[in-house]
Structure 1
Amino acid sequence: MRAGYRFGLSQHDQSLTLQFKALSPALSLETLDARLAALVAFRPGALPLRPEWAPGQTLVMALSARILQVAAELQRSVYLPTFDAGKILACRPMPDQPGGWAMTLAVPAIDYFPPPLLHQLYSRVTTLVLNLANPVHTPGTIDQLSNEIDTEIRLPARSAVPLSQSTYHLLRTAQAAGMPWRHTGNGIFQIGWGERQTRVRSSQLWGDTALGCETAQHKYWAAQWLSQAGLPAAQHGVANTEVQAFELARQLGNSVVIKPVDRDRGEGITVLPQGEEALRSAFLAAQQYSPQVLVEAWAPCVCHRVLVVKDKMVYAVKRLPIAVEGDGVNTIADLIRRANERRQGLPVWQRKPPLPDDTQTQACLQLYGLSLNDVLPAGQWAPLRDIESTAWGGIDLEMTDHIHPENIALAIRAAQVFGLNAAGVDIMSTDITRPWYENGAIINEVNVAPLLGGGPASLRTLPALIAHLLPNGAHIPIDVYLGGPEALQAAQERHATLCQSGVNAFLCTPNQTWSSHQKLLPTLHQNLFDRCLIQLGNPQAGHLVVVIQNTEFLTTGLPFNRCATFTVVDAQKCQSAQTGALASDEEVRQLLSLFSPPERGQS
């Protein structure tokens, strides 16, 4: 069953029960918090204490609050969108277990995340928290605990739903803007309701053409498409053998870049291999990723990533390889060592790859007349790789306010060539502030589903990106009527008025769905929750009228996070979804309470 809004969280939620046996008096919140700070690099929020709580209850409430926070933090670390940590719904003594407590928690729910895996995750986090709170227990080194958490908690969670950093940051931005979202399956998320929606997977948008995506990812054919459109593309050829690679390199003047023909993120790339043996090694390295290898004329330029979304530039950055910044005191080798020591102090999953000091680094430094033993002046950078790549990382310098308008137009045209609503266009240019046709700039790649949230420029511009994707907001008006026959009649009259005024309004009752043409729509779904979800996912729906005539939503939660109007007509005639008899006063009160939090009430 898909999750709804039930317990007042800012996202879909569900209940979870934890049971604590009699807690050891040795447990220490101070010890727990100190270990959590060292282990997962965050400090739990304060728990508001209540005078009516017994000492044992105060402890179990504090432990439960930390379990919620740690579980949410670990889920977020694998890009699961658990933005709301959850809350404690009830804390009751266990009658058959002296000193034991039963905790009912509200936790975030993500559709298609297996319930057994969710219970396993919270169970293991509970064990972790209790062990860390025990001063007598020796938890092991940070590396040992990090690896244990990675294996037992993070990896199973990460394998449950195919997600990415880009998806996470898009959803986080939408959540911060009050926009609804839900997982529709296969790592694809719907942001917004009805006609005010978009769908995303990673940073690939609904509407990107399949042929364009396929071609853009093949570097040779992508260059042909760009050339056919009159745009500047790289000069290169495809080699299937070493002999072909040698011949292409000779034709291109032997100053070449070797890369797989259909891989992104800088994988398998060698820049300027010198000599036959180096060229052979570069060819074999690229062939590990793809049977076809691209031999490309080297362009003495710097790569600039221009993010284009729906024919608009969102940001532009100059992409530089990983480097260390001099301080006038330490050698380059010392700077690398110190940076790696700082990274080692973080949990395993927060560590970036160690900065390299290998032979490839030394060769790169030699190109700039440097060595590992040199001391750089303060503010000077020493590159440790010849290109920026996802594997090694890099440094992005924002150029959004400096890129020339002609280069923006070039990037937009390149995205249009492939029919992409979102594209990371890589322009190789000696000076991105000058028009591309003045300095021989070329389009090196057009990236499908470019990384979002990977750097300051991307994070800064995400709110504007979301607003550009959904310029009219993410909510369609929803009118809710609660009651019996009179509520149904009022809803039907409202629906008729909307339809007659030309609004694409749909009417959902517990048993039927009516279209914007006031026609009955056949559907296999026989409950109101699913009927509403169908129309919330319908890109033709501009307005929704909902009639609540039973207590179904007490079990499922609400399918939407807010409504435009909420009208109670004849609530005493609501039926119980369990018995079919009239709902009790308490059930009606609970129904009304679903609409009482600000995020559930009238907008």
Structure 2
Amino acid sequence: MSTTIEILRLRHLRGPNLWTYRAALEAVLDIGALEDRPSNTIEGLYERLTAWLPGLIEHHCGVGERGGFLQRLREGTWAGHIMEHIAIELLNLAGLPTGFGQTRSTDQRGVYKLVIRARQWEVARQAVLDARDLLCAAIDGRAYDVAAAVKQLKALVDRWALGPSTAAIVDAATARRIPHIRLIEGGNLVQLGYGAQLKRIWTAETDRTSAIAEGISRDKDLTKRLLAECGVPVPEGRVVSSVDDAWDAAQDIGLPVVVKPTDANHARGVSLDVRTREELAAAYELAEREGSEVMVERYIPGTEHRVLVVGGRMVAASRGECAWITGDGVHTVRQLIERDINSDPRRGEEEEYPLDTIRLPENRDVMLELRRQGLEPDSVPAAGQRVLVQRTGLLTDDVTDLVHPDIAELTALAARVVGLDIAGIDLVVQDISRPMAEQGGAIVEVNAGPGLLPHLKPANGKPRPVGEAIVAHLFPPGVAGRIPIVGVSGTRATAAVARLIGWLLHRANLATGVACEGRLYLNMQPVPTAGAPSAWEAGQRVLMNRCVQAAVIESSPRSILDEGLAYDRCLIGVVTDVPVPQGLHDHYITTQEQMRKVLRTQVDVVLPEGCAVLNADCEVCAGLAELSDGAVLLYSERPDHLLRAEHVAQGGRFVTVEDGHVVVAQGGNVQPLVPLQHAGVQALVQRVGLPALLAATGAALALELSPELIRAGLEVAAAEVPDL
């Protein structure tokens, strides 16, 4: 009988959650009879797993050292834990490295929660399913095709994960604690930052990339004319309308020439060193297939280079190489390409590879190059005969440190003339370490949205921090793209607290977005939504709104368990209470200590410059203070609370009720803030309760709003705040 492990539920935790700060996959597993069969009792399991997945030796596990997981496997561990490590290793093999994983038992025998980091949900989900199947096969002694599983995962990575250029920028932003939101699933449109501080990127284009400039760069003839008028050396040439016209242009310019589409991209349809009318006719047909006009220009002898310009300065440079094969008198051109070129580990079909695989007859430029030499894919070159296979598009060597200042200046000028903030400048020179003019070099193309892979993964030389350069272009040092975010969690009057805080921020003349109870408000006006968004979806919509200067987002314990928080960090984190949980049995959350672990998420994400606002009347809630990276403000209905003296003595603020006022105590001072006898305040307390009033007051103080604004805002809140 085959072993079975039942996956009861798969959940996508999209933001900070019970387990980790980042997006994760949570699986609930029922391992059934395997609860009585730890790994050390299953014959051959260790040997099969280590043979199929030798990379498991690198998993430290709880032991904290290389081989730690295998030690646990030998000594005895359970199926859920083994599945966790198999899933992580499969993701590593698929090119989506994942270091985080946890497996914990529940209060139901044989049922476990397995959690792994989910950089991409679709890939992580499949990895967990594959891990289950692989483990069951290993337990039963059945065959399992690991290579096929990894191949499928790689296809999912290629379909769903960010491309390498976009990923490099996002990783650089993450390293600077700049948040990001992916705006298209499976696409490369990404938001960096939140609200009014956000910037957008689409691969290597930004929201500073002018549409006019991009249009100019696509028109190669217009680009050349503008560059020439500004003193940038470019090859002579013009647009042609037919093969005869192209030949006339070539005669005027002087052979050899280059034939290419006017909107050539990634060297598609480009033919170099064209010397005869027959070659020109074939090159014209190749260029015309790209769907734009065709141009003929002077051939510049030398080596192709690509210089990346970001924000008006050169940040990286790559040198191209030609692809050659050498005949042996036995093998065909096709076979030699497969053996000597496509076998290069730098080549592949996916975006992660710096060089493309050459396929015949699909690669028309290669076919043209071969025919110029009198060869076809099935021709057999003579022994020792060198055959040029490909001239263009093979940027392989990093030469950033060799670029002459004159060339760096000219490429930066070319980007400015076209108007691009990020540009890939193609130039041809003999030696990039010498001035361009003295060697007759020229800039041949200016490209918008250049690929970053040649600079991230050069075949030779060191990678360049081009993602960091683009992030620095968008966000100067010290700028993290953040707006003030207030997160509110708990079970008591959290929606009322969120609306009151939003109201006070609105009164402070900040365009404020509020997300609570699945509703959205902008400047305290309801925002129509299609359907009922989840707490995570509502929060994300607020943060994607470029008008929003401050945000207040409510997250219930269930929403944290279902999806995680909608933001990575917040300035202010409010927790109203940590009760004994009710109605969370489907999450196996049944004790107050478990509820504490859920709601600590809100405190865990408070920024160092921020503040946690906690209810001192709930002992467990007040105990969350030790988890805050920022300051802590406590509030209580009891002015004689035992925590008051200690907290104030340590420099903290304590909001409470005293002498008919809401007051804040700090150091030796007690400042009255809100008169409780005011009719508007009495109406507010009657509607939302005193604890909600204190929580909102504490959050407003933590936001550094003035006492006068807080008092005036709360006196009229009952009448002015919608849905309170």
Question: C-alpha displacement at 1:301, in angstroms?
Answer: 3.6
Question: For the residues of structure 2 that align with 1:133 and 1:403, how far apart are their CA atoms?
Answer: 62
Specify the code of the residue in structure 2 equivalent to 1:168.
A
Preserved CA contact (<8 Å) 2:235 2:442: yes
Q: 3-state DSSP class of the match of 2:62?
A: coil
Preserved CA contact (<8 Å) 2:240 2:296: yes
**409-418 or 85-94: which moved more?**
85-94
Q: Which residue of 1 aligns with 2:572?
A: 565
Preserved CA contact (<8 Å) 2:205 2:449: yes
Specify the code of the residue in structure 1 equivalent to 2:45.
S
Residue 68 in structure 1 maps to residue 88 in structure 2: yes
Preserved CA contact (<8 Å) 1:478 1:563: yes
Question: C-alpha displacement at 1:173, in angstroms?
Answer: 3.0
Q: Which residue of 2 aligns with 1:9?
A: 20
Question: C-alpha displacement at 1:298, in angstroms?
Answer: 0.5
In structure 1, which of residues 92, 98, 106 is the aligned counterpart of residue 115 of structure 2? 106
Q: Which residue of 1 aligns with 2:525?
A: 520
Q: 3-state DSSP class of the match of 1:564?
A: strand
In structure 2, which of residues 466, 478, 486 is the aligned counterpart of residue 479 of structure 1? 486
Question: For the residues of structure 2 that align with 1:137 and 1:526, how far apart are their CA atoms?
Answer: 45
TM alignment of 1:337-376, pairs within 5 A: 343=344, 373=384
Specify the code of the residue in structure 2 equivalent to 1:295.
V
Gaps of 5+ in 2: 1-11, 64-68, 326-335, 360-365, 374-381, 608-627, 631-724
Q: Which residue of 2 aligns with 1:259?
A: 260
TM alignment of 1:194-593, pairs within 5 A: 194-227=195-228, 231-290=232-291, 292-321=293-322, 343=344, 373=384, 387-389=391-393, 393-400=394-401, 402-404=403-405, 406-433=406-433, 436=436, 440-454=440-454, 455-456=457-458, 459-471=464-476, 472-483=479-490, 505-510=512-517, 515=522, 519-524=524-529, 528-548=535-555, 551-569=558-576, 585=592, 588-593=595-600
Q: Indicate how the Cα distance of structure 1 residues 574 and 464 shifts in structure 2: closer, same or farther if over 3 A, else same.
A: farther
Specify the code of the residue in structure 2 equivalent to 1:470.
F
Question: For the residues of structure 1 that align with 2:480 and 2:463, how far apart are their CA atoms?
Answer: 21
Preserved CA contact (<8 Å) 1:483 1:573: no
Preserved CA contact (<8 Å) 1:306 1:315: yes
Q: Which residue of 2 aligns with 1:332?
A: none
Q: Which residue of 1 aligns with 2:49?
A: 32
Residue 88 in structure 1 maps to residue 102 in structure 2: yes
Q: 3-state DSSP class of the match of 1:272?
A: strand
Question: For the residues of structure 1 that align with 2:139 and 2:283, how far apart are their CA atoms?
Answer: 53
Preserved CA contact (<8 Å) 2:580 2:592: no
- Cα deviation code 1:225-253 (max 9, x no counterpart): 44465544332233443323322222221
Q: Which residue of 2 aligns with 1:48?
A: 62
**534-543 or 27-36: which moved more?**
27-36
Q: Indicate how the Cα distance of structure 1 residues 136 and 266 shifts in structure 2: closer, same or farther if over 3 A, else same.
A: same
* Number of residue pairs the alignment of both structures matches: 547
Question: For the residues of structure 1 that align with 2:132 and 2:519, how far apart are their CA atoms?
Answer: 44
Question: For the residues of structure 1 that align with 2:255 and 2:59, how far apart are their CA atoms?
Answer: 60
Q: Which residue of 1 aligns with 2:174?
A: 175
Q: 3-state DSSP class of the match of 2:143?
A: coil
Question: For the residues of structure 2 that align with 1:221 and 1:299, how far apart are their CA atoms?
Answer: 19
Preserved CA contact (<8 Å) 2:18 2:598: no
- Cα deviation code 1:253-303 (max 9, x no counterpart): 121112233332222332213333333333333344346433221012433
- Cα deviation code 1:90-144 (max 9, x no counterpart): 357997xxxxx65533344578x6x6x86455424543565578776385xxxxx
Question: For the residues of structure 1 that align with 2:135 and 2:388, how far apart are their CA atoms?
Answer: 40
Q: Indicate how the Cα distance of structure 1 residues 20 and 277 shifts in structure 2: closer, same or farther if over 3 A, else same.
A: farther
Specify the code of the residue in structure 2 equivalent to 1:541.
V
Preserved CA contact (<8 Å) 1:552 1:577: no
Specify the code of the residue in structure 2 equivalent to 1:411.
T
Question: For the residues of structure 2 that align with 1:63 and 1:549, how far apart are their CA atoms?
Answer: 30
Preserved CA contact (<8 Å) 1:453 1:459: no
CA RMSD of aligned residues (A): 4.8
- Cα deviation code 1:194-217 (max 9, x no counterpart): 233322222222242334324423
Preserved CA contact (<8 Å) 2:490 2:599: no
Question: C-alpha displacement at 1:445, in angstroms?
Answer: 1.1
Question: For the residues of structure 2 that align with 1:174 and 1:529, how far apart are their CA atoms?
Answer: 22
Specify the code of the residue in structure 2 equivalent to 1:222.
T
Question: C-alpha displacement at 1:189, in angstroms?
Answer: 1.7
Specify the code of the residue in structure 2 equivalent to 1:88.
Q
Residue 594 in structure 1 maps to residue 593 in structure 2: no
Preserved CA contact (<8 Å) 1:255 1:298: yes
Specify the code of the residue in structure 1 equivalent to 2:166.
T
Question: For the residues of structure 1 that align with 2:82 and 2:45, how far apart are their CA atoms?
Answer: 11
Q: 3-state DSSP class of the match of 1:105?
A: strand
Preserved CA contact (<8 Å) 2:495 2:517: no
Specify the code of the residue in structure 2 equivalent to 1:260.
P
Preserved CA contact (<8 Å) 2:15 2:567: yes
- Cα deviation code 1:438-469 (max 9, x no counterpart): 65543211112211243356543433432332
Question: For the residues of structure 2 that align with 1:572 and 1:271, how far apart are their CA atoms?
Answer: 74
Question: For the residues of structure 2 that align with 1:309 and 1:126, how far apart are their CA atoms?
Answer: 46
Question: For the residues of structure 1 that align with 2:133 and 2:170, how far apart are their CA atoms?
Answer: 30
Question: For the residues of structure 2 that align with 1:184 and 1:414, how far apart are their CA atoms?
Answer: 31
Question: C-alpha displacement at 1:594, in angstroms?
Answer: 1.9
- Cα deviation code 1:468-521 (max 9, x no counterpart): 322211433323344577767776676566556665554444366555xx5434
Question: C-alpha displacement at 1:399, in angstroms?
Answer: 2.5
Q: Indicate how the Cα distance of structure 1 residues 548 and 267 shifts in structure 2: closer, same or farther if over 3 A, else same.
A: closer
Question: For the residues of structure 1 that align with 2:79 and 2:584, how far apart are their CA atoms?
Answer: 38
Question: C-alpha displacement at 1:386, in angstroms?
Answer: 6.2
- Cα deviation code 1:369-420 (max 9, x no counterpart): xx9859xxxxxxx99666341xxx342232356431x544433343344443
Q: Indicate how the Cα distance of structure 1 residues 588 and 292 shifts in structure 2: closer, same or farther if over 3 A, else same.
A: same
Preserved CA contact (<8 Å) 2:18 2:561: no
**551-560 or 276-285: which moved more?**
276-285
Q: Indicate how the Cα distance of structure 1 residues 555 and 487 shifts in structure 2: closer, same or farther if over 3 A, else same.
A: closer
Q: Indicate how the Cα distance of structure 1 residues 268 and 136 shifts in structure 2: closer, same or farther if over 3 A, else same.
A: same
Question: For the residues of structure 2 that align with 1:597 and 1:254, how far apart are their CA atoms?
Answer: 68
Question: C-alpha displacement at 1:193, in angstroms?
Answer: 2.0
Q: Which residue of 2 aligns with 1:327?
A: none
Question: For the residues of structure 2 that align with 1:11 and 1:547, how far apart are their CA atoms?
Answer: 19
Q: 3-state DSSP class of the match of 2:178?
A: coil
Q: 3-state DSSP class of the match of 2:301?
A: coil
Question: For the residues of structure 1 that align with 2:577 and 2:415, how far apart are their CA atoms?
Answer: 55
Preserved CA contact (<8 Å) 2:93 2:150: no
Larger Rg computed on CA atoms: 2
Name the structure, 1 or 2, with higher relative contact order (CA <8 Å, separation 6+). Answer: 1
Specify the code of the residue in structure 2 equivalent to 1:566.
G
Q: Indicate how the Cα distance of structure 1 residues 394 and 423 shifts in structure 2: closer, same or farther if over 3 A, else same.
A: closer
Question: For the residues of structure 2 that align with 1:93 and 1:594, how far apart are their CA atoms?
Answer: 22
Specify the code of the residue in structure 2 equivalent to 1:444.
V
Preserved CA contact (<8 Å) 2:452 2:466: no
Preserved CA contact (<8 Å) 2:250 2:257: yes
Residue 137 in structure 1 maps to residue 143 in structure 2: yes
- TM-score w.r.t. structure 1 length? 0.73
Preserved CA contact (<8 Å) 1:121 1:157: no
